[in-house]
Structure 1
Amino acid sequence: MKSAAASAPFAPFSGPFAIGTFSASGGTAFPGLVAPDGRVLDLRAALGEPALTTLTLLERWDEELPRLHTLAGDPTRDWRPPSDLAVHAPVEPRQIFQSGANYRQHVIDLAVAHRAPDDSRTVEEARAEVAAVMDKRAAEDLPYVFIGLPTTINGPYDDVVLPAWAQQPDWELELAAVISRPTYRVTVEEALEYVAGYTIANDLTDRASVFRRDMPPIGTDWLRSKNAPGFTPLGPWIVPAASLADPSDLRVTLKLNGETMQDESTKDMIFGVARLVSYISRTARLLPGDLILTGSPAGNGIHWGRLLRDGDVMDGSVTGLGAQRTRCVAEEAR
């Protein structure tokens, strides 16, 4: 569902090029090479493959990367202005792996916000106890990862529909890693070799549905709380991994109606990208185009006591990856 947010200005990224998915009016979506000034090169024509998709490009990422660098430096190609094109999510993943409780400050804030009414601890005591748990998890190498549905993927400038049943819809801006080749049981040391690049994801969550009220011992209900259609605005671009000097030192910023709500460095992550890729690959076989969402920093709506509602506009950015803008639309208002 498109919105006025689609007119968001072009946001620069790091490196000589990025990869996106685009369409012209009435046309089919195609993978595009994005220049630093925003111009787009249709890779189907440039590579002579009419059926090329971003996913198939990622399946040959190591082979195609040198060709992409050559194309990015060729001014004689048929570069198109971004104003002529609609921007879609940069990839349609087959699998989405989501890291929870991965930002130290975020976890502490959530734990304090969700304290039971009869909890006798002071705020300071509660924060100290949760901080000790985070330190133990880091020492024992125990990330927390769950699985999301590809149908949650939404464009970086598309409207986000807030379901009528969602009582506490919240934002969670995150750094997302994009896998480049089949990955199974890789070490931490070699894990980043399997990452094609990085993009921006907003992993929306209905806080009221996170915990099962009918059977508390069951625990979290990620299907209900995170997997509504369009609940993961993605993009706008995939920036090659080599274009980012250090994914563990990027600024993650989300503004709600112009007011900064999240503004944190990925330095606050408990488990970095390499540790997450390695950990997930111990159990699951990762595929080209798969997404690994690395968790959300502090500053979510539940912390501020201000959840998403009809008409809200979210502007999200991560250092070197551009920016996305999405407007919230209540389901009953459509």
Structure 2
Amino acid sequence: MFVKPESASALFAGPFAIATLSEPDGVRFPALVTAAARVLDLRAAFGDPRLTVRGLLDIWDTAAPRLAALADQGSGLRPLEDFRVHAPVEPRQVFQSGANYRQHVIDLHVAHGDPADGRSEQERRAEAAEIMDRRAAEDLPYVFIGLPSAITGPYDDVTLPSWAEKPDWELEVAVVIGRAAHQVSEEEALEYVAGYTIANDLTDRATVFRRDMPQIGTDWLRSKNAPGFTPLGPWIVPAASVADPGDLRLVLKLNGETMQDESTEDMIFDVARMVSYASQSARLLPGDLVLTGSPAGNGMHWGRLLRDGDVMDGSVTGLGAQRTRCVAEDAS
């Protein structure tokens, strides 16, 4: 399935992006997609019938200029609407981050404050803002591990597990790694980024914290990693086409109503800081994802969680748009 935008120029920033496509019932393949919604099968272009997007990312430094040249040629292209769009890459590792949007964390700080606190909301917000400023200057990003098996396509249905009492949305910018990175500095971190895509990092709020053992804290396996809980894509837009990852607008609509509408300018830790931090402990590999957190406007904020039949439309400036429908799992 391909959700066609109002105009071809709205697909993504730059002349081309990378996708994983298939014929309606065929084998998935890596594709170059032009801004005019035309497709080139990269298996033939690179002379490798087993090529994948992750294989391209393994050789990104040499592949990127070849892709740009192929996009300029414009020959052998087919209409995008002939194909099904899948998650653009199968990562080996997924690094997720929390509490990385200033306004979102301030809202949480106020919402979950001590009921006995007699100060006004304005005073509590001022306190939270001061904490955020201090955190940005002195603290570290909060990063944890997600499962590749939670990833699904940008237009696929999302199954809400029967056990999930409070499923919620979290639209995010996902960084796609293009070179192996270990203990890289913040100054050089962006050199390891191949491009960007969209992720909706669904979370069951009811299982974030263990009820049986509250002292051990968060349970990200249970709350975030159900199959299909991370719609990804539709494309990987090369980093060279994204002028400033710190100035992208994220918008999520639920059944047509805007829930999230924020700029990555509100991030506490920017992309370079996130990539550098993750690389200090782990070795980031080509095709890996670094999710950069979600802005204010989640379901908990609105008092409205996901349910059967809901449709989520998520978009990010220059990265395209995804649309997913929620389907309740059969409890039987």
TM-score (structure 1 length as normaliser): 0.95
Partners of 1:129 and 1:222 in 2: CA distance: 28
1:161-200 superposed matches below 5 A: 161-200=159-198
Aligned to 2:12: 13
| Distance of aligned partners of 1:33 and 1:82 in 2 relative to their CA distance in 1, 3 Å threshold | same
**Alignment equivalent of 1:292, drawn from 265, 290, 293:** 290
1:151-300 superposed matches below 5 A: 151-300=149-298
Q: Which secondary structure state, in structure 2, belongs to the residue aligned with residue 189 of structure 1?
A: coil
Q: Which amino acid aligns with 2:19?
A: G
Task: Answer yes or no: is the 8 Å Cα contact 2:162–2:331 preserved in 1.
Answer: no
Aligned to 1:111: 109
Alpha-carbon RMSD across the aligned residues, in angstroms, is 1.5
Partners of 1:47 and 1:90 in 2: CA distance: 18
Q: Which amino acid aligns with 2:56?
A: L
Q: How many pairs are equivalent?
A: 328
Moved runs in structure 1, 4+ residues, more than 6 A? Answer: none
| Distance of aligned partners of 1:114 and 1:209 in 2 relative to their CA distance in 1, 3 Å threshold | farther
Partners of 2:331 and 2:257 in 1: CA distance: 24
Does residue 73 of structure 1 match 2:68? no
Partners of 1:223 and 1:243 in 2: CA distance: 34
Q: Which secondary structure state, in structure 2, belongs to the residue aligned with residue 332 of structure 1?
A: coil
Q: Percent identity?
A: 73
Q: 1:27: Cα distance to partner? A: 1.5
Q: Which amino acid aligns with 1:170?
A: D
Q: Which secondary structure state, in structure 2, belongs to the residue aligned with residue 310 of structure 1?
A: coil
Q: Which secondary structure state, in structure 1, belongs to the residue aligned with residue 278 of structure 2?
A: helix
Partners of 1:241 and 1:39 in 2: CA distance: 20
Partners of 2:254 and 2:82 in 1: CA distance: 28
Q: 1:98: Cα distance to partner? A: 0.7
Q: 1:115: Cα distance to partner? A: 3.7
Of 206-215 and 249-258, the range deviating more from structure 2: 206-215
Aligned to 1:64: 63
Partners of 2:161 and 2:117 in 1: CA distance: 32
Aligned to 1:48: 47
Show structure 1 runs of 5+ residues with no match.
Answer: 1-5
Q: 1:126: Cα distance to partner? A: 3.4
Q: 1:116: Cα distance to partner? A: 5.3
Partners of 1:149 and 1:178 in 2: CA distance: 15
Q: Deviations over 1:51-83 (max 9, x none)?
A: 00000100000111111011001122x211112
Q: Deviations over 1:195-244 (max 9, x none)?
A: 00000000001111112222222111111111111000000000000101
Aligned to 1:38: 37
Aligned to 1:308: 306
